[in-house]
Amino acid sequence: MKNFKCKCGQVLFFENSKCLSCGNRVGFDPQGMKMRRLIGEGVESKPKLRRCKNSIDYDVCNWLVNDPQSAYCLSCELNHTIPNLLNQDRRAWWKSLEYAKRRLIYSLLSLNLPVVGKSKDPMGLAFKFMEDQRTNPEVFERHVNTGHLDGMITINIAEADRVKSEIARQYTRELYRTLLGHFRHESGHYYFLKLITGDAIKQQFVKLFGDYKQDYGKSLKEYYKNHLVSPYDPSMISHYAQSHPWEDWAEIWAHYLHMIDTLETANQYRLRQSSAQFDNIDNTLRKWGELTLLLNSLNRSMGLEDAYPFVLSELSLKKLRFVHGLIYPN
């Protein structure tokens, strides 16, 4: 993730909606991939750009609107369902969800991956942020699973509650479980549909990940039945990746996005263990290995758990190279 600069010279971070130095309102332009300064409700030197309705009404967005036919920015336009905004806790959860979603969309745009909403393409991308009766007895849904179906990504909004998320992390044996991680993982299922096309690519996929045509529902049911006692295969990137080839792919995809975003952030601070170029996958993986050692060592010095609690096997590295090859084809 890049940092930006206000015209006054002050560093701006991705979530900033105001410059803390000169006090001017700022917004992120997803088309130009840069921060712009706002004058009133418009954008300086770019009068067609304007604030997103979710910024004006709820202060949960700092992106700018490019489409003259829409009141919402590219990220907020992808929303299908949002939480109950009459509840203050749910509004706070929604803000966290939007923060994570925009970081995902930024990465997808940076990689020149297609980001098209369902309003323009039935097989486009959309998001449902929903709650179930486990956290709110007044809602209709008894159980909402975070997941993906034909471009519709559903996130249980309780994932934005840090206490509930930590309980789930411990129960599921997921060493790394974050809100942004959920978005990245579920986006992997969507881009499977977009990128794993053609017989040759499908054959490569099966060789690396296994037969994705095996019964998905049965595989997940078996996994959750035994996941607390089943051994972890160290050749896999995570325990959950063992459940089904689709989940293995989504875990690898998420790790690829973790990797490029974190390396880019490190590059903004001029760390030696960083990268701003990702076309050379061998260099990227080498830098990632150096950076994760640094991150984990820093965390241990603070008495915290490892920031990146994974060891990448040769098989996982091959899978990361496969993902890279789909995004940066020769």
Q: Between these two residues, 259 and 232, which has the higher pLDDT value?
A: 259
Contact 291, 262 (CB under 8 A): yes
What global pTM score does this model have?
0.93
Residues of the chain with pLDDT > 70, as a percent, come to: 96
Residue 73 pLDDT exceeds 70 = yes
Q: What's the pLDDT at 226?
A: 83
Taking residues 78-98, report their average pLDDT: 92
Got the DSSP string for 184-208? HHHHHHHHHHHHS-SHHHHHHHHHH
Range with the poorest average pLDDT among 82-96, 115-129, 205-219, 255-269: 82-96
Backbone conformation region of residue 278, classed left if phi is above 0, alpha if psi is from -120 to 50, else beta: alpha
pLDDT score of 163: 78
Quick check: 45 pLDDT over 70?
no
Residue 55 has pLDDT above 80, yes or no: yes
How many whole angstroms separate alpha carbon 76 and alpha carbon 54?
Answer: 7
Q: 133-160 pLDDT, tens per residue?
A: 888 888 888 999 999 999 999 999 999 9
**What pLDDT score does 190 carry?**
97
**Averaged pLDDT of the chain:** 91
Alpha-carbon span 315 to 209, nearest angstrom: 9
**Residue 28: which of 77, 73, 70, 58 has the closest Cα?**
73
126-165 CB burial, b ≥16 within 10 A, e <16: bbbbbbbeebbeeeeeeebebbbeebbbbbbbbbbbeeeb
pLDDT on residue 197: 94
- Please tell me the predicted confidence (pLDDT) of residue 161: 86
| Backbone φ and ψ of 253, nearest 5° | -60, -45
Q: Which of 3-12, 70-79, 100-109 is least confident?
A: 3-12
Q: Is the pLDDT of residue 53 over 80?
A: yes
Residue 228: what residue type? L
- Whether the predicted pLDDT of 68 surpasses 90: no
Model confidence at 48, pLDDT cuts 50, 70, 90, reads confident
- Residue 152 near residue 178 (C-beta atoms within 8 A): no
